[in-house]
Amino acid sequence: MNTHTAVSATVYWTTLDSPLGQLLLTADESGALTSLSVPGQKGGRTAGSVEDGWRADPGPFRAAEAQLAAYFAGELTHFQLELRSSGTEFRQRVWDALDSVPYGETTTYGRIAARIGASRAAVRAVGGAIGANPLLVVRPCHRVIGADGSLTGYAGGLDRKRRLLGLEGVPLAP
């Protein structure tokens, strides 16, 4: 379930080791996942960016931890987590479109723009919204590629994008 409202007063956080490096996860007081960042992520959070008042507590992240482990083991193809993101209405539409891109498949920025009813001229704005995705891996922005099939931009870095697509069995050009 994805919702895009309410900023919570309490922020929980934890870190998880993964094949992509140490992940930083945050959740709101209801336990909804609000961000998942990888080390060195453009615009992402790191353990060093944990803010005063945030509560270190792995409890709210048990389901995310189990599902991420299963995903990285090749045993999970669809996350069943409550997600909550803050963003403009446009970004929310783009993020909802990302959520519908199936495991092991790719789409293009232009197809995402068309899916949300945006013009071809909005492809750059769609790319900006995808780049601002606060929930890497679980909201599959890594499945968006260039119109020519090239691996373009990924806030977590192209090597991680390549690894995630490879894990999902997407054939990649050398």
3-class SS letters over 151-172: CCCCCCCHHHHHHHHHHCCCCC
Pick from 90, 101, 157, 152: nearest CA to 126? 90
Instruction: Let me know if 15 is exposed, middle or buried by CB neighbors in 10 A (0-12, 13-18, 19+).
Output: middle
Query: Choosing from 97, 101, 141, 164, which is the catalytic residue?
Result: 141
The verdict on whether 82 is a catalytic residue reads no
Tell me the catalytic residues. Answer: 141
